[in-house]
A and B are shown apart, each in its own frame.
Chain A
Amino acid sequence: MRIEFEMNGGHKVIDCDPQKSLLSVIREDLGLTGTKYCCGGGECGACTILLDGKPVTSCIMVAAQANGHSIETIEGVRGEREFEVIKNAFMAHGALQCGYCTPAFVLYAYHILKDGRQATREEIRREIAGVYCRCGSYQKIIDAMESLLSGGSTYAEMPEGSDVVGKGVERKDYGDKIEGRAIYAYDLKPEIKGREDVLYLKFLRSPHAFARIKGIDTGKVKGTVLVLTHENVPEVYFTTAGQSYPEASPYDTRLLNNPVRYVGEPVAIVAAESEDEAEEALGQISVEYEVMKPVLGPEEALRTSIRIHSKGNVVAEIHEVVGDPARGFEEADLVIEREYETQMQKHVHLEPYASFSYWDNDVLTVETGSQVVYHCRRTISRILGLPENRIRVFSHTMGGGFGDRQEMTLEQYVAVVTHMTGKPCFASLTREEQFFISRRRHNARIRMKLGAKKDGTLTAMSMNALSDTGAYGSHGLTVTTNMGSMTLPLYTRHCRNIAFDATVVYTNRPIAGAFRGYGTTQGGFALESAMDELAEALGMDPIDLRLKNVIEEGAIDPISEVLSEGGEAIPRRIESCGIEEALKRGRELFDWDRNKGEGGIIGVACGMKGSGVAGFEFANATAKLNEDGSVTVAIGAADIGQGAESAMAQIAAQASGISFRDIRVTSADTERVPFDMGTYASSVTYVTGMAVKRAAEDLREKVLQRAERLCGGRPELKDSILGDKPLREFAMECFYGNDRDELCGFGSATDITSPPPFSAHFVELNVNRATGEVRIERYLAMNDIGKVINPVAAEGQIHGAILQGIGYALFEEMRLDENGKLINPDLTNYKIPSALDAPDIENHFIETNEPSGPFGAKSCGEIAFVPVAPAIANAIYRATGTRFRKLPVTRERIAMS
């Protein structure tokens, strides 16, 4: 059918199926990739366009609905007069992170501005609630909108020069993201449209939680289609977890397995010349299953004689003891024992997975969105038997990761198809496939036992965790280790009697993996809830109890002496520690004592995490001086939206004396950047940042030495001025003068102790006991992340972590039916926080100086997630008198308690 409409000021005529989704027309037929796909169900708003000036979700419109109307997308709006002020406001307020939602929010901002109405903060919140932001930028978006509507200046003072650490410089990725120009892996599909040689992948998913494949009949599959099954994929076992070698996760999976072990596990993969053809072929494959009884809970996994894997259901066990816990409990005046339970949570990064592979001469190239390009390359090399120098993996801008991209999800499949066929291969997941196939947070059952003297001094702690890694053991041991090793040290000022036992089991549930917080969220919920219960039992204020026991600067973390994340234990001395101050200042700012006296519905909880994985991290960086005096910094870690590239540029500027604006960072490409373990464990600022600092110092030293050699004395280098001349002149001289020399700094860093960042969060709620609704009236977050490299970007991370924590606390949960099938695989049924669920957060940084980190920095990405759920649950207890020891604390559970 012929469809005509106005688009971005031009007239468009297209001929297509009238009931084709308008979003597909915009992205694939018209090639406008600034409008994003995320859910396809009208829920998330990433696909927002302006239809006759009004924001609508294009994914649930059919093409024919556009006929005779006018459409504006970000590609049109970015040319409008109003756009500049919107862009400036978004930049000045740091109103974005990964940027996947940003074009949609810009359209809302444009709509609101054009509308010319005044709006209160709460009205703005409701207006923009048509778009989800999983990075949690709502507050900053509303700030930006408020400043836009009030007509005030939207420009922030931008620091110039090289003296930029600690300043809220404008992130280098902002411009492209706000303008809708950033290319994500998901956008490769429109980019490769029209190429006839590309194969598209589709997955046939298992309908059974546990079944042996007795036969797969592909005889009816028509066309030139390749079908992969467990019978014709390489006989190689590996782990999809992107961890340092040797991985602390078992090699328990092949590309395709028999038996299949969870509902949704790929049984066959079809590669065809179009997605439609691939989809059609799926229907032509018949599989004969021998359905087996699934094991659907971790307790059952321990009891049953059914073996999910031939080695049994236990993936790992941890038994660590410090001191003499039994004696410690005897010495206590009071002992409490409680059991807690946490749920399966989904990452829901707004950009679903997509990967593209092809031969670039003799190099098998994989374009993707991975936090761990080097681990990815190593594993593909192992599966295909291809040397690493013939494999290239690189990441595009990523629409959120949160740990899910520390996994190989599609990279291995596209690579094997390209390897087998010689053809380029593209795969992407729909939101539903993303729900079924990708990873989730480990659910856990945790028993806590705490013993204390009457005055609150802890005498013994014990934690016993049962953790469910699902069908395969990805990250099972390490996540579970962190449940204890990264939480219990917080309260070891006096306590030297600690037991930590844990068992990690397989079940026939979706595969667990890395997720922001990485075990500390589960352990933290148990520990911080138990501390609250202990305080109550002792008749003590929960802050006093914590202050009595929190670890101090200079202390040795006793657990680090016996346990590490899958390697040898390395004792760690706490060199920087702001937790005591966080509690004390937070108590004042929150007016905790008065509030409590007046019966306020308030809660508090603390948290700690690490900065990288002690003993395992390894990051490298180069800083190369170009002819014009600009500098290219190359890092192997990836920017998953947190702003790593800009933080690295700040560190490089400060360390070298070269202006921030002269530095560009390139990342996550095995062919172009030095080795790095990747972006996980909140390691980038701390570990990669140290490598960058050293590379920049090395470059500075080389510049200064050369200058000294040429002109005698040692000049100053600051703000890109060397002595009294621009660095540019010196750089040209290096390349084209008589004594030629390319100057490149190199830096390397490892992580010895993984210094912990700390948090203390305070929350005040209003609970409607009849309906179970919880309104967060006030949220105060005190965070010690060491020296803050970029306060605006760091605060964005804090907001995002807290928001995901609120979802974890109150409603997010993957739910399975009695056969193990996920029953809420979409954003209608798996809710994530919208702007309406997001409180304004008061964030304060308690700046400490971590001597082992770059300019004193520690890590920031995960810490603020840890205290959220327990702080909220502790406050809900004050409102209802019911201790919710199981997450999430839904409205239904509160009302029915």
Chain B
Amino acid sequence: MEYRYASTIEEACRLVENGFSPIAGGTEINLKHGAGPLVDIDGIGMNYIEDRGDSIAIGATATIAQIERSSLLREYNALTIAAVGFTQSVKHLATIGGNIAESVASADTAPPLLVFDAEAVLASLTGERIVRVESLFAGLRKNALRRGEIIKEFLLPRFDGRSYFRKVGRTEDDLAVTSMAISVSGDVRIALGSAASVPMRARNAEKALSSGMGAARDALLSETSPRDSMRAARDYRERLETALLEECLREVGL
């Protein structure tokens, strides 16, 4: 099976244009049978975390372990907590780009990126475009990248409020049965994992908060649609959503 190494973004984009799939850490794609030809994007140098003044940029191939330890991300508590709680055995391989590009509901970095209103810089042979991370999730394991596009980096706008992340699995090292991130700086933002087919912002709940907990809870339950699976039943996931809402609000002092 074909395997190439890209040393520039251009090279990667050209191969992706020609039907190659990017491989970053490989923790998702290597478990799929018949992944097809792969282009390794590890050598492009996209594994940075840097201060850009009005935002922090996280390169797409930055690993979860890097995020966990980055001092630049200290203000982004929700993201750091998510990185700490990520399965230890794959932390040094798994990248944030792969986590988002895979577009699964339980992706742990997604709810934090959503509450920080992060943007993704997408690169292709025709140039770059910037989209909100939220718009990248097209459906379960389906992202909204155009043909020939890869994620280059994520931009997290300056943040100096409080934030928190919480996930509940079946055990302490499980994937999320339900996860939630919350941020407060002026406005309150709430995002969830495993509450719909893809990670989501809970905008109705955010709005309803001003009318009290009961209203927020109702709004949350009506905008989420968690699934029934072997790992957890829908009604349990709904129970978790409201439990996490209360807990997360408490943690950020609301």
Contact = CB atoms under 8 A, between A and B. Distances in A.
Interface of A: 1, 17-19, 21, 41-45, 48, 51, 54-57, 60-62, 64-65, 67-68, 126-131, 768, 770-773, 810-811, 815, 823-824, 828-829, 831, 833-834, 836-837, 890-892, 895-896
A67 B26 contact: no
Given A56-B93, A896-B239, A129 B88 contact: yes
Contacts of A891: 168, 170, 177
B42 interface: yes
A892 B230 contact: no
A673 to B, nearest CB: 39
Given A60-B26, A129-B173, A836-B173, A42 B31 contact: yes
B30 to A, nearest CB: 5
Contact of B90 (A1, A17, A60, A62): A60
Given A60-B90, A770-B246, A65 B84 contact: no
B172 A57 contact: no
Nearest to B171: A831
A828 B229 CA distance: 14
Interface string B21-65: 001001100110001001010110000000000000000000001
Contact of B230 (A129, A824, A833): A824
A65 B23 CA distance: 9
Contacts of A890: 170
B35 A48 contact: no
25 contacts: A18-B3, A19-B3, A21-B30, A43-B87, A45-B88, A54-B65, A54-B92, A56-B90, A57-B93, A60-B31, A61-B26, A62-B38, A65-B40, A67-B40, A126-B84, A130-B89, A770-B239, A770-B240, A770-B246, A810-B171, A831-B174, A833-B171, A834-B172, A837-B173, A892-B232
B239 A51 contact: no
Contacts of B236: 772, 892, 895-896
Given A45-B89, A895-B236, A836 B172 contact: yes
B89 to A, nearest CB: 4
Given A56-B93, A61-B26, A891-B170, 4 more contacts: A19-B3, A54-B92, A829-B231, A892-B233
Contacts of B254: none
Given A51-B92, A126-B88, A771 B168 contact: yes
Interface string B89-117: 11111000000000000000000000000
Nearest to A51: B92
B5 interface: yes
Contacts of A51: 92
Contacts of A896: 233, 235-236, 239
B230 A815 contact: yes
Interface string B160-180: 000000001011111101000
Contacts of A64: 3, 38, 40
B173 A834 contact: yes
Contacts of A824: 230
Contacts of A44: 89
Contact of A895 (B65, B89, B240): B240
Given A60-B31, A811-B171, A896-B239, A42 B230 contact: no
A130 B88 contact: yes
A218 to B, nearest CB: 25
B88 A62 contact: no
B89 A57 contact: yes
A690 to B, nearest CB: 41
Interface in B150-198: 168, 170-175, 177
Given A17-B1, A19-B3, A811-B171, A68 B43 contact: yes
A42 B27 contact: yes
Contacts of B5: 67
A105 B23 CA distance: 28
Contacts of B31: 41-42, 60
A131 B89 contact: yes
A162 to B, nearest CB: 44
Contacts of B144: none
Nearest to B230: A823
B243 interface: yes
A130 B175 CA distance: 14
Contact of B89 (A1, A21, A42): A42
Contacts of B23: 62, 65
A48 B89 contact: yes
User: Most chain-A Cβ atoms within 10 A of its Cβ — which of B65, B89, B175, B235?
Assistant: B89
B3 A1 contact: yes
A834 B89 CA distance: 11
A895 B239 contact: yes
Contacts of B230: 815, 823-824, 829
A70 to B, nearest CB: 14
Nearest to B235: A896
Contacts of A834: 171-173
Contacts of B235: 896
Interface string B104-133: 000000000000000000000000000000
Contacts of A56: 90, 92-93
B139 to A, nearest CB: 22
Given A64-B40, A65-B42, A896-B236, A837 B172 contact: yes
Nearest to B35: A19
Nearest to A43: B89
Contact of B1 (A19, A60, A810, A895): A19
Contacts of B232: 892
B1 A42 contact: no
Contacts of B168: 771, 773, 891
Given A19-B1, A55-B92, A896-B239, A61 B30 contact: yes
Contact of B243 (A55, A65, A770): A770
Nearest to A838: B172
Nearest to A108: B88
Contacts of A130: 87-89, 91
Contacts of A1: 3
A127 B88 CA distance: 7
A17 B172 CA distance: 36
Nearest to A55: B92
A54 B47 CA distance: 15
Nearest to A17: B1
B35 A837 contact: no
Interface in B224-254: 230-233, 235-236, 239-240, 242-244, 246-247
Contacts of B171: 810-811, 831, 833-834, 836-837
A96 B150 CA distance: 45
A828 B104 CA distance: 15
A892 to B, nearest CB: 4
Nearest to A50: B92
A655 B117 CA distance: 73
A810 B89 CA distance: 22
Nearest to A823: B230
Contacts of B89: 42-45, 48, 57, 129-131
A65 to B, nearest CB: 6
Nearest to A41: B31
Contacts of B2: 18
Interface string B3-32: 101000000000000000001001100110
Contact of A60 (B3, B27, B38, B42): B27
B231 A62 contact: no
B34 to A, nearest CB: 10
Contacts of A45: 88-89
Contacts of B243: 768, 770-771, 895
Given A42-B27, A770-B243, A770-B246, A61 B93 contact: yes
Nearest to A894: B236
Q: Top 4 A-B pairs ranked by shortest CB distance?
A: A770-B243, A18-B3, A836-B172, A130-B88
